[in-house]
Chain A
Amino acid sequence: MPERSDKRPGPYAALRHAIGLHPMDRREFTRRALALGASAASVAGLLAACRPVGDDLPPAERAARDAAAALEPLGPIEPRLSIYNWSDYVAPDTIPNFEREFGVRVTYDVYESNEELLAKLLAGARGYDLVFPSSYALSVLVATGLAAPIHRAYLTNWSNIAPLFLNPAVDPGNAHSVPWQWGITGLAYRADKVAAPDSWGVLQNVRYAGKMTQLDDGRDVIGSWLRYRGHSLNSRNAGELAAAEADAITAKRNLKAYLSAPVKGQLISGDVWIAQLWNGDATQAQVEQPAIQYALPREGSTIWADSVVIPRTAPHMRAAHEFMNYILRPEVGAAISDFTGYGTPNQQALARMEHPVPYPTPEQMQRLEYQIDLGRETAEWDQLWTEIKSA
């Protein structure tokens, strides 16, 4: 191996620079960037590209601008539409029928989590016309200005939506979103093995040890134990959260596992008797095993709603609006919710459904709460969830 002179950089000098082990000063960086053929302008552009494509307007100013924009007419319907959604979240004939009737070619792409959707849109990905965020993801899209204003004039079926699902806290006046599907989180149980559970406390009952599960989601698990002690499931109170953590760990000794959608199979086979689950999934499992019933604990629980949103960068605005109006038709909405097993916010669709999910009564509604974005407290909740899972 040849001797290295002091002036020559070592073999991996550039690499060490790149990963920051040898911090370069600003002039050195600029010199190298220029030497690499990058102009100063493109370096600035690169940094600008790391910012979201939304805007930094104050919320009031943006709301005023969007309200004005929402009244402007859209162009003619475009020949294409790009949908970005969860898999199996529309009925099999929803899209073919839309394509035939409107002469629009639809591409349907899928994501796996709200986080994946947000990561892409926040980084500035373009090309999607319709996305289907949960309420906390919707609040992020609205707050960053990534959601386009809804042109209500094109939604002639708007009056089909039940008032219960309008005007959500995360999007006042539905300026940027249309309600899509809703559901509640409760307890699915095998009526042939156990009595109907009426409290989250049943999960601490050793009689059913090894036959119970909770969802594999910190928000849902900690939320259920906050409700158990009569607190909000969006609590930021350290004392309340500590009590919820203790309750969750007590229950964990009886739990078979933290399991989400796959628990349906175990309920059907009888390996699990009581499971914290979404009502839509319980309905699907009930088709295979009629002994599966569903209960809303008396302490209350989560109600969730997913929405339809048009990203501000959508290339096919008019087609996106036509699709929104199309899914608000009673028969289309009914087919979608019959397929997904969740609730429809479309009150005209309810009567046409094979397995309608009844709206919560006003009494139930008082026990149900929407999850909201926890903002900076998210890290603390994550920490609690890690502690519970590793306890």
Chain B
Amino acid sequence: MNASGVGRLPRWLVAFTAVCLFLMHLPVLVLVAFSFNASKFAVTWTGFTFGWYRRLLERDDILHAVQASLIVGVTATLIAVVLGTLIALALARHRFRGRTVYEGMMYVPIVTPEIVTGISLLVLFVFLRLPLGLTTIIIAHVAFCIPFVVVVVLARLAGMDENLEEAAMTLGADEVTTFFRITLPLLGPGILSAALLSFILSFDDFVITSLVAGSGSSTLPLVIYSMVRRNVEPSINAISTLIVIATSVLLYASDRMSRRREATDA
């Protein structure tokens, strides 16, 4: 290794990283492979088929569940990101009475066991006579996503130079212009990762969702868990494979976007 520490990587470290990555992704590779397996039971390989992807088109329950999960995920993410970013700005940029209490309260939902959050939301919704359904799931997901958004955006704000905002205002920009032209673009990457985190938290939540879901709002995790009692049909592997592909594309796109931004910043 040379003095600057950025010379050739030791070979063992490369090998170690490769093994770790392989082990991390092995389950997903198995899942993808078995989505093309002819057998109904995911243990023995009996032949190649696209049948489970075709079967997916007949499984209205799975398709509805994917739709419900997407509606909930996107809506909850949008709301949580807007509210969470505003909360983070308030906490980072302003001094007001009870600020420490607010900040402390932000962390409570992160450490509260999900089952407690779920039961309390269920009791609250029943008390308010709010019919259980997509709306209640979205409210619940917004509630548990906000703290994560706040934490991520606060971290980004901590590394941001406040002088840039002050400079903009000195040069005559009003508060709104400064926010949209300076603060928001600088916060962009933080907000984007907060949004991705929220979406993933929302998309695979089971405990809270199972308690606040109502008629006509079964999300994908609810359907998959319910199928386990009988048999997890390989069409679940097929839909999971499609989801893996979709998220990979999404991640790649967001990575490209932030790289391009960094390039223009430089």
Contact = CB atoms under 8 A, between A and B. Distances in A.
A13 B133 CA distance: 35
Interface string B117-145: 00100110011000111000000000000
Interface residues of A, number: 45
Interface stretch (A28-36, A259-267, A373-381): A259-267
B104 A11 contact: yes
A192 interface: no
B234 to A, nearest CB: 11
Interface stretch (A125-133, A167-175, A343-351): A125-133
A123 interface: yes
Q: Which of B58, B127, B222, B232 gathers most chain A CB within 10 Å? A: B127
A288 B231 CA distance: 13
Q: Which of B44, B126, B230, B231 gathers most chain A CB within 10 Å? A: B230
Contact of A11 (B41, B58, B100, B211): B100
Given A82-B215, A116-B210, A281-B230, 15 more contacts: A12-B100, A14-B105, A15-B108, A46-B127, A86-B226, A86-B229, A87-B223, A92-B58, A107-B215, A107-B216, A123-B122, A125-B214, A127-B132, A262-B232, A268-B39
Interface in B213-266: 213-218, 222-223, 225-233
B61 interface: yes
Contacts of B100: 11-12
A-B pairs, 5 with minimum CB distance: A49-B127, A87-B226, A110-B226, A11-B100, A265-B43
B126 A288 contact: no
B215 A127 contact: yes
A125 B58 CA distance: 30
A156 interface: no
Contacts of B213: 109
**Majority SS at the chain A contact face:** mixed
Contacts of B24: none
Contacts of A261: 228-231
Interface of A: 11-15, 45-46, 49-50, 82, 84, 86-89, 92, 107-112, 116, 119-120, 123-128, 260-262, 264-266, 268-269, 271, 281, 284-285, 288, 340
B42 interface: yes
Contacts of B41: 264-265, 268-269, 285, 288
Given A11-B104, A264-B41, A109 B229 contact: no
Contacts of A266: 43
B104 A119 contact: no
Contacts of B156: none
A15 B108 CA distance: 9
B101 interface: yes
A82 B44 CA distance: 38
